[in-house]
Copies of this chain bind each other. A is one copy, B any other.
Amino acid sequence: MTTVIPAFNAVNGARRIVTLPEPFGMRQGGVLHGVQVACETWGRLGADSSNTLLLFTGLSPSAHAASSPADPTPGWWEEMVGPGKPIDTGRFHVICVNSLGSCFGSTGPASVNPDTGRAYGLKFPTLTVEDIAAAARQALQVLGIPRVQAVVGASLGGMSALAYALLFPAEVEAAVCISSATHSEPFSIAIRSLQRELIRRDPEWRGGEYPPGQGPREGMRLARKLGMLSYRSAREWAERFGRERAKEGNEAFGIEFEVESYLESRARSFIGGFDANSYLYLSRAMDLFDVAEHGGTVDKALRRLRLKRAQVVGVETDILFPLHQQQHLADSLKRAGVDTQFVSLPSKQGHDSFLVDMQRFRPVVGDFLAAL
């Protein structure tokens, strides 16, 4: 099974594609055949196979978290992952997976459905965060990795990390959850719901049956703009843009302020690189995630864990995964008997801080992992 959109098959010397055993049953029903999970690895697996650090991504990145000799382009967490860096590839065998349902080598709605010979589109079964975790675990099994020393993730990646620890408690020693939560609150569901609607209302979406490599570019652009409103913070923009006017633009009610120009350029750089249906599936998976489903309540669910240590990091200016959600997760982990460190950071870049405020995030994550 291969992804349909050519751009997503770009040569990537570091990427490995792992094919999972047949069949792959999805949590809310349906099965997939010949599931592929794209991953990249850094560092060496120790003789006792005990030094793996599994890294999950947010909604949109690929498995290319960091550069390597095989792929020297900078990764999405370049400053965090590498020799001597906080996620130290001199010590850990790091593996980053492209989420199931995504479009960077892992099976998703843009992949060819072997039953039809065409892209799954909306025939792809409902995706949950637990499916992302389960696919990653099967990939590790194929690779001969029986357990992980730490599972790490931010945003959706933090949910995937939590799901992994819940589903395979005997195989995870420590977890780092950044700017994530046990469940989505209505405000974040509402933002994502409107993003999905902007994509679905674009005539080029064609009910999910757009031709390979095409799709709702306009809808994706607008959805990305809305995303940016939730990823950053009002404080950052007030300091950064103030009331600066834009140079471009004389369209009626078009771009007049610099912040509008910024949003437009950020949105344009996003479209074309991400499959619209993948976006819909991964976005809804975040809405659906709820730790409480694994035990009736969050507290009961977390008693399943056998983590030795956990770190929960949140950011004061995050409006998508507000700080009280990380506080709640940390408190719940403590009640479940997990030795948990909660860190609240004053970063001003909102939900995206873990990608940009590296001066704050590097020592926090590094110190925790160094002490494992």
Contacts and interface: CB of A to CB of B under 8 A. Distances in A.
Interface of A: 122, 183-191, 193-194, 196-198, 200-201, 207-208, 218, 222, 225-226, 228-229, 233-234, 237-238, 240-243, 252-253, 255-260, 263, 280, 284, 287, 290, 319, 322
Given A260-B193, A319-B234, A187 B229 contact: yes
Given A201-B222, A218-B201, A253-B200, A237 B284 contact: no
A208 to B, nearest CB: 7
B190 A259 contact: yes
A335 B229 CA distance: 33
A203 to B, nearest CB: 9
Contacts of A263: 190, 193-194
A201 B198 CA distance: 11
B229 A190 contact: yes
Contact of A186 (B200, B201, B234): B234
Nearest to A283: B253
Given A197-B222, A201-B222, A319-B319, A190 B280 contact: no
Contacts of A191: 229
Given A200-B253, A208-B252, A253-B280, A259 B186 contact: yes
Contacts of A233: 187
A322 B237 CA distance: 13
A238 B189 CA distance: 11
Contacts of A193: 255, 257, 259-260, 263
A347 to B, nearest CB: 16
A200 B253 CA distance: 8
A274 to B, nearest CB: 16
Nearest to A193: B260
Contacts of A258: 186
B243 A183 contact: yes
A187 B290 contact: no
B242 A186 contact: yes
* Max chain B C-beta neighbours (<10 A), residue from A122, A198, A258: A198
Nearest to A121: B252
B257 A186 contact: yes
A257 B186 CA distance: 8
B260 A185 contact: no
Contacts of A197: 222, 225
